Amino acid sequence: MNPPRAVFTDFPLGNICGPPNDRSTQLAIVGSALDLAYTAEAPGVISPLSHVWPKPWKDEARQLIDKRTPRNDTPQYQNEADRAAAIANHGEDVACAVC
């Protein structure tokens, strides 16, 4: 579903209203969005804004490496006591009991 009207900022994900603690930019962007709600003459209007992120960010974002711990199909325990407690609570087939 397309928005009935929207403003577009070419900012990093999670920062669509501007850099953190940059109140003036954030207020300007929100104000532009509210203005568009009243001035758009047709549905589906997307109005790009002229605000620019303070430093280049796209190349850095493309180079990010996923550093999260890999997912496992079986439970991982910090120590043997945790494993024993899980078996005591859920039975010997713990992998299925906690999924």
Token look-up 């568009």 returns 36
pTM, two decimals, is 0.58
DSSP string over 52-79: --SS--HHHHHT----SPPP-SS---SS
> Digits of tens for pLDDT over the chain (99 positions)?
667 888 999 999 889 999 999 999 999 999 999 999 889 888 888 899 999 998 888 888 887 777 777 788 878 888 999 888 888 888 876 654 444
Q: What per-residue confidence (pLDDT) applies to 97?
A: 44
Neighbours of 29 (CB within 10 A): 19
Q: What values do phi and psi take at 8, rounded to 5?
A: -120, 130
Q: What per-residue confidence (pLDDT) applies to 30?
A: 95
Calculate the CA 34 to chain-centre distance: 23
Q: What per-residue confidence (pLDDT) applies to 91?
A: 81
